[in-house]
Structure 1
Amino acid sequence: MPNETCTCCGTVESQRTGTNSETEPQTEGDSGTGAAPEGRASSSADRWLGDSSVTEATLPDDVRSAMERFFGDASIDSLEDWTSELRRRTGGALEVADLCHADGETDHWGELDGERYYFRCFYDTVALAELTSEAVEIHTVSPEGAAIEARTTGDGELATTPTTAVVSFGTAVDESRPPTTAPTLEDAYEAICPTVRAFPTRRAYERWATKTPVATVGMPLSTATAVAIELVE
């Protein structure tokens, strides 16, 4: 979307039933390896991609189904399949002008060479670093208000504060709309952006995931550049 401000990125409406705060003191299992609360049928392990290559790991059935539904005629097993299919059908690798820029201040920004770029979607800050091959200071806010900071070098390395930070991925598909075999970048943003959020811990992500009507997976935020590299190269 060159020279345009993205207006299609929304939020996933959370069906919140508890009062747990993401900034609560860590207890046993809250360091990023704890068990998920009751909710979705799949276990927390099924939705965690931190134990293998995050782009090659097999996705849960409901995540794969949503991604396949988005394209209508694709076979998706992994995030690598998803990014390859997305690039092929939307015309190739992303450019900086294609990112989901905002025309005002947001909670999601990246600072590059002293200039701050505001985005409607958190993950665009990570993509910005990989597109420019430059260091980017990243700031975002989790769904319940916890600040997440990161610094990416532009060559695949990313350090986070807190070090236990996690990112979610998924695809929000409107079942009332027919799938398209030739999606635009706007279509992709509308489906992806609401599901890509950062969290201070794995447990915080899992609490959110069980209350969210869209199927997602989680992974350490420090590994998130792997997906961005697949999108931009």
Structure 2
Amino acid sequence: MSEQTCDCCGTVEDRPADVAGEVEPSTDRWLGDAAAMETPLPDDVRTAMEGFFGDASIETLEDWVAELRERTGGGSIDAEDLCHADGETAHWGELDGTRHHFRCFYDAVVLAELASEPIEIHTESPSGDVIEARATGDGELTATPSTAAVSFGVVTDDAALPAAEATLEDAYGAICPAVRAFPTRDAHEGWAAEANAATVGMPLSIATGVAIGLVGE
């Protein structure tokens, strides 16, 4: 497996105060069941995802993953495409006794699906809460705490938009900072109201759908 490093993943900053004050957590940001990949996205998330590509039509996370694959090569993501870190991070997955550090914890979930083997996952929320998980590599995932949530979305800064045809590096820069784990749904909603990203949340335990979409044939 390549240990290619990725320096493209930025950070999510707080929104300016006047914008943050207009944002209220809402139930339509929570994709809480097994149909999460097919659930219509909130308008701001859909608009941000469509804006990343410029000419896409996106209604669901399933559409988003399909568009990502088509625009960045058309095939399955490979292990060497993951956003490996060149040093220790708070986001890692342990496979067959080897610990792989990533810029984005969700890469460890993707790696489990690629390897079709269990991976022990460790990450930290934006506020420093430790979240651990076990991805089985066949679509199942258990999390500690059991209330853990994950966000999916896109950074809304214009600087994150690709200048031309989107590359995988562009995608990492716009997506990775918005994909975070949280100890609870409320923790995600509080963060989402202040961050310069348009996101939805879901239980971490049902969040393998994006990984499966990225690696499927």
Instruction: Give the alignment's TM-score, normalised by structure 1.
Output: 0.85
SS of equivalent residue, structure 1 residue 150: strand
Q: Which residues of 2 match residues 25-44 of structure 1 at below 5 A?
A: 39-41=21-23, 43-44=25-26
The letter of the residue matching 1:163 is: S
SS of equivalent residue, structure 2 residue 189: helix
- Partner residue in 1 for 2:13: 13
1:226 equivalenced with 2:209 (yes/no): yes
- Partner residue in 1 for 2:40: 58
SS of equivalent residue, structure 1 residue 194: helix
- Shift of the alpha carbon at 1:3? 5.4
How many equivalent pairs are there? Answer: 212
- Partner residue in 2 for 1:185: 168
Long gaps (5+) in structure 1: 18-37
1:149 equivalenced with 2:98 (yes/no): no
- CA distance in structure 2 between the aligned counterparts of 1:129 and 1:161, rounded to whole angstroms: 17
- CA distance in structure 1 between the aligned counterparts of 2:214 and 2:30, rounded to whole angstroms: 21
Alpha-carbon RMSD across the aligned residues, in angstroms, is 2.0
- Partner residue in 1 for 2:76: 93
- CA distance in structure 1 between the aligned counterparts of 2:13 and 2:198, rounded to whole angstroms: 12
- Partner residue in 2 for 1:21: none
Q: 2:154 aligns with which of 153, 163, 171?
A: 171
Long gaps (5+) in structure 2: none
Structure 1 contact 96–131 (Cα < 8 Å) conserved = yes
SS of equivalent residue, structure 1 residue 46: helix
- Shift of the alpha carbon at 1:196? 0.4
The letter of the residue matching 1:14 is: D
SS of equivalent residue, structure 1 residue 102: coil
Q: CA deviation digits over 1:117-136, x for unaligned, max 9?
A: 00011110110101110000
Q: CA deviation digits over 1:13-32, x for unaligned, max 9?
A: 13599xxxxxxxxxxxxxxx
- CA distance in structure 2 between the aligned counterparts of 1:148 and 1:52, rounded to whole angstroms: 21
- Partner residue in 1 for 2:98: 115
- Partner residue in 2 for 1:75: 57
* Deviates further, 157-166 or 49-58: 49-58
- Shift of the alpha carbon at 1:210? 1.1
Instruction: Give the alignment's TM-score, normalised by structure 2.
Output: 0.91
Report the identity percentage: 65
- CA distance in structure 1 between the aligned counterparts of 2:161 and 2:131, rounded to whole angstroms: 36
Q: CA deviation digits over 1:35-77, x for unaligned, max 9?
A: xxx9554652110011451110100111001110110110000
SS of equivalent residue, structure 1 residue 215: strand
- CA distance in structure 2 between the aligned counterparts of 1:129 and 1:39, rounded to whole angstroms: 39
- Shift of the alpha carbon at 1:213? 2.1
Structure 1 contact 56–79 (Cα < 8 Å) conserved = yes
1:201 equivalenced with 2:184 (yes/no): yes
- Shift of the alpha carbon at 1:89? 1.0
- CA distance in structure 2 between the aligned counterparts of 1:175 and 1:83, rounded to whole angstroms: 21
